[in-house]
Structure 1
Amino acid sequence: MKRIFDLDYADYFTIRGKELLETIRTSEGRTLMAETIITTFPLLDGISNPETAAAFSADMVTLNTFSFDAPFIFGYDDRDFSAYGNLAGYAEKIGEKVNANRVDPDYIRKFKRMLGRFIGVNLEPVPEGSDYPSGLHCSEENLMRVKELGFDYIVITANPKTGVTSEGIRQGILRAKKILGEDTVIVAGKMHGAGAGNIYDESVIESFVTAGADIILLPAPGTVPGFTVERVGKFAEMIHRHGALVLTTVGTSQEGATESYIEQVALMAKMAGADIQHSGDAGVSGMTPPENLMRMSITMRGKRHTYRRMARSAHR
């Protein structure tokens, strides 16, 4: 079994489900996930945030605010037209592209062929009656689209002010497992106090694993008050005991902090037992500053593996 930083371009299209989990497990805490907002102008003009994240050594790229009702990735779908001097025309072209993407069953597969990384999507198990956009819900309809479009994994979580509860996440996991089966990895949890209540309880986390989550999401040490190496380590041991993997997250806008801070968090998360380290989308313009992604990667796995991953970038 290859380690994740040894993968070639072709491997990203043959490794799925349980094999992906085993690849991560074999990598011994050296897997990097970058979360990116794709519904805003990207950090770099003409380059989508997922592409920048991949170029700076991310192994897994999560699309946040991706709507199954209106699929569109800024920096990727709008390369052939410009907003400069013609905003009305730009908006019209976006609408045309969204309509085309909506009926394209290979939309994400095409993007993945360009990106050359594992691609996931955030889904929100919001309460019934929520006015949260339907294209972002962890609904049966959207889960069927996850399967159709070929996402490698989903992240069942809570963005701020969504009202998502722990029970909502558990129900979302059950729904996803029934529809997606074993081919799509299920990540679940909350990285900070978003939604309603918290999940920082062993019984709740255990219920997520029992429901079918493959990877449990936890705040990284130093990101949420009281989350020390010892506390995260205790949760990690319990999660591993139940056969799941651990994803530690930086999603509190601290992904946009100093490189020295990123180094500390990456080291503490490694000590606590993280299998995957995540850096969020609240740095600048919908993603972690690229230098912070690279700094996290170097701290996790050294310059050799970081530079090799960066050299084996997209556009193959």
Structure 2
Amino acid sequence: MRMFDLFYEDYFRMKRSDLIDAIRDSEGRTLMCETIISTFPLLDGISNPEAAAAFSADMITLNTFNFDAPFIFGYDDEKVSPYHGIPTYAKALSEIVERNRENPDYIQNFKKIIGRFLGVNLEPVPDGSTYPEGLRCSEKNLKKVAELGFDYIVITANPSTGVTSEGILEGIRRARSILGEDTLIVAGKMHGAGAGNIYDLETIKGFVSAGADVILIPAPGTVPGFTVDLVKGFIDAIHDEGALAMTTIGTSQEGSTESYIESVAQMSKMAGADIQHTGDAGGSGMTPPENIMRLSITMRGRRHTYRRMARSSRR
């Protein structure tokens, strides 16, 4: 089945191979939205992943999800408020985190609200990094990925993490050995975060050989010099290796104008992207909803966009 034809129950029965087939069958019409969940959401009382799903995202990536302190703003704090006083609010949040730590169904319960494929960002930071342990691409966290039931992981680099191409390569190997064949692995960089960029074919081939299913690269028009022809060359190489390609908007341009979003969506389609991604830096930890919908309409038309939006409420 194509991604935009899926029903609610499909998101709970499909594994890695099914997900790959759905993306391929969609012919470049799969939309991933990345959302920060460790800050107040764009809409009070509604988590950013919920908003992204409502505006037609197929795959939703949680950024800054801390495995040592699992908490999603707009979802876990629905019944508590800072208006009751900061000390009371902080105490309530701490208690919620403690409960979430002991809940093996935490992500699956959240997924029942979202009705979409859920993934998580993990950072393969270098030794000696001060980056929080709960956000790292570590053996401990990868085991929790499997236990909690995430559909996929994204091995990448947030700003100022010091992540290198070699670190990502090692992270892919570690992830595949721990997660086995059930979890989709996405890997790469979408901008100049970490230490240097990955813009050479040998690195891409190495990622695929290590076990990555999807290679992410900057979308045309996001990173300086990234033209349609350049991106198409990378995507052709990714496809030749048997992997899928995802173009990303991760340069705060996800908060740009709808006309810009439309332009990037067209260029990414021309370059051959299997998945189009929009990031979390538009404001309050997500792409503005109207930009999500504009990207979706451009890449797959109003019919499939509105069906995706409407079908999210079907059980």
Name the TM tier (shorter chain).
Answer: over 0.9
Measure, in 1, the Cα distance between the counterparts of 2:45 and 2:313: 15
Measure, in 1, the Cα distance between the counterparts of 2:148 and 2:173: 20
CA shift for structure 1 position 87 = 1.1
Instruction: Indicate if the aligned counterparts of 1:115 and 1:315 stay in contact, CA closer than 8 A.
Output: no
Secondary structure of the equivalent of 1:191? coil
* 2:271 matches 1:272: yes
What is the count of residue pairs matched by the alignment?
A: 315
CA shift for structure 1 position 211 = 0.4
CA shift for structure 1 position 85 = 3.8
- Give structure 1 stretches of 5+ with no counterpart: none
Measure, in 1, the Cα distance between the counterparts of 2:277 and 2:197: 19
| Residue number in structure 1 paired with 2:156 | 157
Q: Deviations over 1:38-57 (max 9, x none)?
A: 00000000000000000000
Identity of aligned residues (%): 72
| Residue number in structure 1 paired with 2:190 | 191
Q: Deviations over 1:128-155 (max 9, x none)?
A: 1100000000000000000000000000
Q: Deviations over 1:210-263 (max 9, x none)?
A: 100000000000000111000000000010011100010000000000000000
* 2:36 matches 1:37: yes
Distance 1:157 1:65, change over 3 A: same
Measure, in 2, the Cα distance between the counterparts of 1:14 and 1:153: 14
- Give structure 2 stretches of 5+ with no counterpart: none
Q: Deviations over 1:73-103 (max 9, x none)?
A: 0000001111114111011010000000011
CA shift for structure 1 position 120 = 0.1
CA shift for structure 1 position 197 = 1.2
| Residue number in structure 2 paired with 1:54 | 53
Instruction: Indicate if the aligned counterparts of 2:29 and 2:274 stay in contact, CA closer than 8 A.
Output: yes
Instruction: Indicate if the aligned counterparts of 1:54 and 1:314 stay in contact, CA closer than 8 A.
Output: no
Measure, in 2, the Cα distance between the counterparts of 1:121 and 1:227: 26
Q: State the AA in 2 paired with 1:168.
A: G
| Residue number in structure 2 paired with 1:135 | 134
Q: Deviations over 1:159-207 (max 9, x none)?
A: 0000000000000000000000110000000000000011100001110
Secondary structure of the equivalent of 1:100? helix
Measure, in 2, the Cα distance between the counterparts of 1:314 and 1:155: 27
Instruction: Indicate if the aligned counterparts of 2:8 and 2:314 stay in contact, CA closer than 8 A.
Output: no
Q: State the AA in 2 paired with 1:278.
A: H
Runs (4+) off by over 6 Å: none
Q: State the AA in 2 paired with 1:18.
A: S
| Residue number in structure 2 paired with 1:254 | 253
| Residue number in structure 2 paired with 1:121 | 120
Instruction: Indicate if the aligned counterparts of 2:7 and 2:314 stay in contact, CA closer than 8 A.
Output: no
Instruction: Indicate if the aligned counterparts of 1:209 and 1:244 stay in contact, CA closer than 8 A.
Output: yes
Q: State the AA in 1 paired with 2:199.
A: Y
* Alignment RMSD: 0.7
Q: State the AA in 2 paired with 1:289.
A: P
Q: State the AA in 2 paired with 1:119.
A: L
TM-score (norm 1): 0.99
Secondary structure of the equivalent of 2:35? strand
| Residue number in structure 2 paired with 1:209 | 208
Q: State the AA in 2 paired with 1:62.
A: T
| Residue number in structure 2 paired with 1:281 | 280
Measure, in 2, the Cα distance between the counterparts of 1:225 and 1:192: 10
CA shift for structure 1 position 19 = 1.1
Measure, in 2, the Cα distance between the counterparts of 1:198 and 1:52: 31
| Residue number in structure 1 paired with 2:177 | 178
Secondary structure of the equivalent of 1:264? helix
Measure, in 2, the Cα distance between the counterparts of 1:198 and 1:301: 30
TM-score (norm 2): 0.99
Measure, in 2, the Cα distance between the counterparts of 1:117 and 1:155: 16
Q: State the AA in 2 paired with 1:240.
A: H
| Residue number in structure 2 paired with 1:148 | 147
Measure, in 1, the Cα distance between the counterparts of 2:102 and 2:41: 24
| Residue number in structure 1 paired with 2:12 | 13
CA shift for structure 1 position 314 = 4.5
Measure, in 2, the Cα distance between the counterparts of 1:92 and 1:85: 11
Q: Deviations over 1:100-133 (max 9, x none)?
A: 0011110000000111000000000000110000
